Amino acid sequence: MRSFNFFGRLCTAFHDYPSLSKIIVVSTLSSGSLIAYSEANTNNRNRGRVAHADAVASKKKKVVVLGTGWAAMTFLKNLNNCIYEVEVVSPRNFFLFTPLLPSVTCGKVEARSIVEPIHNIIRKKNIDVRYREAECTKIDPANNKIYCRATANTNSKRREEFAIDYDYLIIVNTFNTPGVEGNCHFLKEIDDAQKIRRNVIDAFEKASLPNLTEEERKKILHFVVVGGGPTGVEFATELHDFVNEDVVKLYPMVQNFVKITVLEATDHILNMFDKRITKFAEHKFGRDNIENEICTKAKGSDKTTSMPYGMVLWSTGIGPRPIVKDFMKQISQGNRRTLATDEWLRVEGVGNVYALGDCAAINQRKVMEDITEIFKKADADNSGTLTLKEFQDISNDICERYPQMQLYLKSKPVRNIFDRPSQVKGKASKESIELRIEEFKSALSEVDTQLKNLPATAQVANQQGAYLAKCFNRMEECEINPEGPTRIRGTGRHRFRPFRYRHLGQFAPLEGEQTAAQLPGDWVSIGHSSQWLWYSIYASKQVSWRTRALVVSNWIRRFIFGRDTSAI
Confidence of residue 182 (pLDDT cuts 50, 70, 90): low
Question: Are the C-beta atoms of residues 157 and 343 closer than 8 Å to each other?
Answer: no
pLDDT at 50: 45
Whether residue 48 has pLDDT greater than 80: no
474 is a domain residue = yes
Q: Do 308 and 400 share a domain, yes or no?
A: no
Residue 530's CATH number: 3.50.50.100
Q: Do 263 and 137 share a domain, yes or no?
A: no
For 108, the domain range is 58-176+318-364+453-502
Cα–Cα distance between 138 and 343 in angstroms, integer?
25
123 is a domain residue = yes
pTM: 0.83
567 is a domain residue = no
Confidence of residue 304 (pLDDT cuts 50, 70, 90): low
CA-nearest of 547, 508, 529 to 238 is 508
Whether residue 281 has pLDDT greater than 60: yes
Q: Do 480 and 348 share a domain, yes or no?
A: yes
Q: Do 166 and 273 share a domain, yes or no?
A: no
Confidence of residue 38 (pLDDT cuts 50, 70, 90): very low
Residue 406's CATH number: 1.10.238
Whether residue 18 has pLDDT greater than 50: no
Q: Domain boundary residue among 417, 450, 483? A: 450
Length, in residues, of the chain: 568
Q: Domain boundary residue among 426, 450, 474? A: 450
What mean pLDDT, rounded, does the chain reach? 84
CA-nearest of 118, 196, 159, 136 to 359 is 136
Cα–Cα distance between 327 and 158 in angstroms, integer?
25
Mean pLDDT value of segment 443-466: 91
The proportion of the chain whose per-residue pLDDT surpasses 70, expressed as a percent, equals 81
Q: Do 296 and 381 share a domain, yes or no?
A: no
pLDDT at 5: 53
32 is a domain residue = no
183 is a domain residue = no
- Dihedral in degrees, nearest 10, Cα atoms 190, 193, 194, 196: 160
Higher pLDDT, 35 or 253: 253
Q: Do 307 and 383 share a domain, yes or no?
A: no
Q: Do 470 and 457 share a domain, yes or no?
A: yes
22 is a domain residue = no
pLDDT at 148: 95
Question: Are the C-beta atoms of residues 354 and 168 closer than 8 Å to each other?
Answer: yes
The answer for residues whose C-beta is within 8 angstroms of residue 402's C-beta and 6 or more apart is 364, 365, 366, 367, 370, 447
Min mean pLDDT across 210-224, 237-251, 374-388, 431-445 is at 431-445
225 is a domain residue = yes
Question: Are the C-beta atoms of residues 146 and 89 closer than 8 Å to each other?
Answer: yes
Q: Do 487 and 517 share a domain, yes or no?
A: no
Q: Within 13 Å, how many C-alpha atoms sit on residue 231's CB side?
A: 23
39 is a domain residue = no
Q: Domain boundary residue among 487, 502, 517? A: 502
pLDDT at 138: 94
Whether residue 47 has pLDDT greater than 60: no
Confidence of residue 564 (pLDDT cuts 50, 70, 90): confident
pLDDT at 36: 35
Reported as a single tens digit per residue, the pLDDT across 135-144 is 999 999 999 9
3-state SS, 234-301, equals HHHHHHHHHHHHHHHHHCCCCHHHCEEEEECCCCCCCCCCCHHHHHHHHHHHHHCCEEEECCCECCCC
Whether residue 417 has pLDDT greater than 90: no
Containing H/E element for 529?
helix 528-540
CB atoms within 10 A of CB 331: 17
Question: Are the C-beta atoms of residues 89 and 164 closer than 8 Å to each other?
Answer: yes
pLDDT at 177: 47
Cα–Cα distance between 79 and 76 in angstroms, integer?
5
The answer for residues whose C-beta is within 8 angstroms of residue 121's C-beta and 6 or more apart is 73, 76, 77, 95, 543
Q: Do 270 and 418 share a domain, yes or no?
A: no
Q: Do 291 and 225 share a domain, yes or no?
A: yes
Reported as a single tens digit per residue, the pLDDT across 136-181 is 999 999 999 999 999 876 655 566 899 999 999 999 865 554 445 5
Counting the structural domains of the chain, the total is 3
Q: Do 414 and 437 share a domain, yes or no?
A: yes
Q: Do 494 and 406 share a domain, yes or no?
A: no
